[in-house]
Structure 1
Amino acid sequence: MNITRENIDALNAVVTVNIEKDDYSDKVTEILTDYKKTANIPGFRKGHVPMGLVKKQYGKAVLVDEVNKLLQENLNKYLVEEKLDILGNPLPRMQEEFDWDAETFSFEFELGLAPEFTVDLKENEITQYDIVADDKMIDGQIENIRKQYGKLISQDEVTEDSEVTGVFTNEEKEIEENATFSLDKIKGKRNLNKFVGAKVGDTLTLKTKSLFNDDHDLMNFLKVAHDDVHDLDIEVSFKINEANTRELAELNQELFDKLFGEGNVTTVDEVKAKIKEDAERQFVQQSDQRLLNDVTEGLIENTKFDLPADFLKKWIQSAGEQELTPEQAEEEYTKSEKGLRYQLIQDRLVKDNEVQVQFEDLKEFSKQMIRAQMAQFGQMNPSDQELEDIAARILSNQEEVRRLTDQLLSQKLLELFKEKANLKKKEVTYENFVKEVYGDSE
């Protein structure tokens, strides 16, 4: 057997595999001899079928099967030995006049080669946000807590500080949903004025467009799909069944104990410090996610290299269960190109910086996640054996292993970016972070 490679250019190559009779003949003869022993052909006793008849009936199929096995086995071995970094899979070149009656066979495969490039984490400056909880946010949280634990006082008439409960209806859209909300969620004076002064039992007619400050409230209260809610512009009725105001709970030791456990917090200043600490711990996750996104986008944008686009489009055409048209393959390639570029960049970062996900790392990572999930359900101190047993069950599932590996790899890359990327730290309040990053409030 002889395998040769012709490099068309830096990103494309053709591998030719030549298979001689000596490569497959012994194996084909061995298989046919076994067939002869067991063949059940009318007119012949079992084990006494002439070899010529066995070859005529089974020879071609055995030959094709054996040659294909040799082809795949040796092509894969060649790619590994030559350390060829290929994209997709080798694509066989069609041969119109291929002859299985010949004794030697030649097969050609097109290869798409991964590009050579370097990744410079220092090239572009990226903002790393340090999100702090300011006094405005902390005071707002305290007021929300006081409302939550406060006393509910029934009203006959709606006021600006009311919390109303009622039913939204719209016959055409088949909407009939109960909802409870405070009037600070209502957007604009015109809408607010429809509520203020209304009495329990009244029915208001409202336009859904710009009804709430946050469209997600509209989605939750009317049970409308996320994709539909932003453009929803219909008329709804809202019948007021209840109007209540809340007498704020006192900031006393009884409330502190409910919030943080008996005796753990004893002053308002300690409450504020605890709220600040908890909020900023959560902000780290958002800041880290934004950093990961920004570095990723920057690397994709600024790490320049070519791809074997024509090869990849041909490969996409035939890679799925159903063959795509050239137009469909072009569309799929356009959709996946950005992801492919980042995958190559990520692979380069992992290799250059020796980033590894070992099984022990994965097990410890899964145990941390399990511990956090159990804490949410009040199980604060699971035993090591419990964690070991649950982690073992999770890691026996290959799909879970793949998912956790991706998460842990992202975490390790984030640590790499914090260490080596060109970062500019910026302290912001959460409100300003949302405005700066998303352009508006959530």
Structure 2
Amino acid sequence: MTIAQTLKARQAEAVAAGVATKGIFARHAENAELWDVDGRRFIDFAAGIAVNNTGHRHPRIMAAIAEQADLFTHTCFHVAPYESYIRLAERLNALVDTGEDNRTMLVTTGAEAVENAIKIARASTGRSGVIAFSGAFHGRTMLGMALTGKVSPYKKNFGPFPAEIYHVPFPAAFSGVTVETTLAALDTLLASDVDPERVAAFIIEPVQGEGGFNPAPDELLRELRLRADKYGIVLIADEVQGGMARTGAMLSIEHSGVKPDLVTLAKGLAGGFPLSAVVGKASIMNAAHPGGLGGTYAGHPFAVAAANAVLDVIADEDLCGRAAWIGEKIENRLRTIAARQGMERIGDVRARGAMIAVELVEDREGKTAAAGLTSQVVAEAEQRGLILLSCGTRYNVIRLLPPLTTPEDVLNEGLDILEASLEAAFSKVAPAGA
């Protein structure tokens, strides 16, 4: 029995069944590579679900952590604050373009950032309603699940959820959902189900994560901005997965030119350490009363030190430019593969920077989701030493999230494995359309 098999058996006896995992038990990792407890090497195209944009154990991040460890580990910012938190807030305020003076608060997880953004929007507006989108993912807390637009596995069996949360369809060109469809649904909602003067916030991922890596069309974001301004609604951009240089810009909403009121950040913010933030207009952020925001571990010194180093690395190594280069390289390779005979089950390839998706179908004409085939490709890749993740409301999207620091030779090796995995999985099923 391998060490991994032994750990899997121990996990079954010790860890709640609802905590789903892959079968890879990590021993150590460097940049875009990971080795398991049995010595197997993997190329990591998951990056801890977009957490390790700067790669595993970036030297500058590790040095920042070591320096902080020599000073103190925890004081609680509410008890004995520290300069590094304030410095990070100053930098994030300058980084996010809302068109106004900004303020920042730090917490620990993406779900916490989302919850606090909603709290702040409600405090600022005196309203309670929130409008989100189908396919959205905003966390696993009760409010996070209410905002999330995907039932399984996130919402199944966990209700009832908080009230006054509404959803409208998210545009997806491949699935035939247009911006016009979305806006018509939104305007109908505001006319028939909820008074716009009771809506505190719109919350949207400028590029959906769990929903299938669907970029929000610029037109939709502009129209949301117009309606937010018309009705006094706070526009929240959830940048938890798409932020921190992942899409070729520091924030994914920057591609549209639309300025949000509030932004939520997490994942890539601290290079592997748990940290999240809400950044936004001071006029909105300051609406919450003193003591109403925060938490015991919010803005932990180690995570803050890591985040300040992450911002340095993104700037000094031009990771926004690197993300654009990686995305173009992967997208071109995937489109070449999709054009080959026998690859007709690749229904769509889409990318926003280094946030790339491959949607698999039973046939391109009918666009029937091939969820089982998607799982097979991910499993084939794992056997060959490549870590992939799936997503999508139809469970048929492979998402690619390589670290933005991935060396070109490792990136090419990973793409070779991906191509071989697609070929192997496709060969085990009947030809598309048969």
The TM-score normalised by the length of structure 2 is: 0.18
Which has the higher relative contact order, 1 or 2, with Cα contacts under 8 A spaced 6 or more apart?
2
Structure number with greater Rg is 1
* Structure richer in helix, relative to its length: 1
The TM-score normalised by the length of structure 1 is: 0.17
